[in-house]
Amino acid sequence: MDKFPCKYLGLQLSIWQLTRAEWQPIVDNVLNFLPGWQRGLITRAGRLVLVHDVVMARPTHHLLVADAPKWAVECVNKRCRAFFWEGTEQIHGGQCLVSWQKVCRPKELGGLGIMDLKRHGLALRLRWEWLRRTDPSKPWHGLPMTCNPQVQIAFNSLVHWRLGSGDKVLFWKDRWIDGASIDDIAPDIKKLIRTQTANKRLVKDGLLNHRWASDITGELSTDGLIQLIRLWEIMLNTQLNPNQQDEAIWPWNERGVYTSASAYKMLFMGAIKAAFACWIWKCWAPLPIKIFMWLALQYRVWTSDRRLRHGLQEQASSCFLCAQEEDNIDHIMTQCAYSKQVWFTTFSRSRIDTLLIPDGNNTLETWWGATRKHIHKTYRRAFDSLVSLVCWSIWKQRNNRVFRDNSNWMSATELVTKIFEELHLWTLAGGKGVSVWCE
């Protein structure tokens, strides 16, 4: 047998923490999958797919066993970030339109769904702790194992217990009182328990002759006293069932059993849902348009108000389409006279109530959110596709006026003709639902 660390099934096996020199090849191996000289030829949408599918999927099996050091995770993140935004190896903050942290959120939480490596690793390593506590049939069961404190905390906060004989459940740490832990009910008491005791005391032993009370060391505050009385009451009403096994419950999916996907999701607990996510990502628009809409709804496209804020121009430009108001995303998409004509013509051709076109007082997000509710559920996805296409077309037209000569400029009517040609192509490419607007 080789000396440790050695390679086994492609993994670096070691009985101690891997060193930097041992991690480096793993990091390089991931980064090698980013294309070299031809990287500039790939569009942002293509780069998103690449980062998402290839690069982020590769570290997975290593993260499953080892807790990657911070520098390694950062190194991979940095390179992926530069590659995604600019197709380069390095990037400075100003070139990233949205923070990487946000990019790495699930789509429904406003991100692009790229794997968050830290959370992903934690979710995967939670599996060992789950198996250790719930599956005695594993051959390694009973061997002394160290558990990373973060995994331990995640396990204790996510897993609930249904009490049976009480010989598997930790009295001071696990969530065994109707999904709550002692820390939830009596935080001041929990503070007075030695870590060593807390790591060992089982519910079965704790309840025997109220032994748990003798685990408490030190002075009780007034709050602590009240909490103690509460605990006492709870313990008096707790019944063990010696004929039944304690049962771990994973409350975060329907089957009640740990899965890494549900764990990963739970590690984003507290993040706010982005309503627009389901409008953008579920529609039939091609990925580049979806990414554009994702940026536009967060005001992260380079309109002149944004360029002004970043010191890239001296004063705001007026709208390139109507020359009336300031060039910003809400004006361009919903308030501009040119755009309103595009919306009006598009809606009347699609037989959508033309009263629903933007009235000029709304932001793109509030108008879209309110209007799609007037569309019958069956057609909502098709409607979201249409909105995305119209916004994208208006944006392209705006850019033509900024960067190209007037042979590329189109009247609102010409633009609508183009929109319907494009829509027809989407139908042919499989977006069957959008055909409802084409007839």
Residue of 321, 329, 333, 389 interacting with Zn ion (CB under 5 A): 321
Q: If DSSP codes are grouped into helix, strand and coil, which group holds residue 7?
A: strand
Q: Which stretch binds Zn ion (CB under 5 A): 29-37, 133-141, 321-329, 387-395?
A: 321-329
User: Binding segment for Zn ion among 8-16, 58-66, 322-330, 348-356 (CB under 5 A)?
Assistant: 322-330
User: Do 141 and 132 contact (CB within 8 A), yes or no?
Assistant: yes
> ∠226-232-236 over CA atoms, to 5°?
150
CB of 123 or CB of 390, closer to Zn ion:
390
Among 182, 202, 296, 319, binds Zn ion (CB under 5 A): 319
Give min distance, CB of 374 to Zn ion, in A: 25
State the minimum distance, in angstroms, from the CB of residue 323 to Zn ion: 7
Could you please report the per-residue DSSP string of 126-171? Answer: HHHHHHHHH-TTSTTTTS-----HHHHHHHHHH-EEE-SSSSSSBT
- 329 contributes a contact to Zn ion by CB under 5 A: no
CB of 153 to Zn ion, least distance (A): 52
- Whole-Å CA distances, 301 to 30, 313, 397, 405, 428: 30, 15, 15, 22, 30
Q: Segment near Zn ion (CB under 5 A), from 11-19, 153-161, 318-326, 383-391?
A: 318-326
**Which contiguous run of DSSP H or E holds residue 394?**
helix 377-403
Binds Zn ion (CB under 5 A): choice among 131, 322, 410, 436: 322
Out of 336, 342, 382, 386, which residue is the one contacting Zn ion (CB under 5 A)?
Answer: 336
* Rg, C-alpha atoms of the chain: 29
Stretch that binds Zn ion, among 170-178, 227-235, 257-265, 317-325 (CB under 5 A): 317-325
157-196 residues in contact with Zn ion (CB under 5 A) are none
Measured in whole angstroms, how far is the alpha carbon of residue 326 from the centre of its chain? 34
> Where would I find the H helices in 333-376?
337-349, 364-372
Q: How many CB atoms lie within 10 A of CB 233?
A: 10
* Span from 56-64, 203-211, 258-266, 312-320 in contact with Zn ion (CB under 5 A): 312-320
Restricting to residues 257-296, name those near Zn ion by CB under 5 A.
none
How far, CA to CA in Å, does 139 sit from each of 9, 15, 63, 188, 279? Answer: 19, 18, 22, 39, 48
- Is the CB of 188 or the CB of 326 nearer to Zn ion? 326
Provide the token pair at 386.
């249409």
Q: Cβ 336 to Zn ion, closest distance in Å?
A: 3
Binding site for Zn ion (CB under 5 A): 319, 321-322, 336
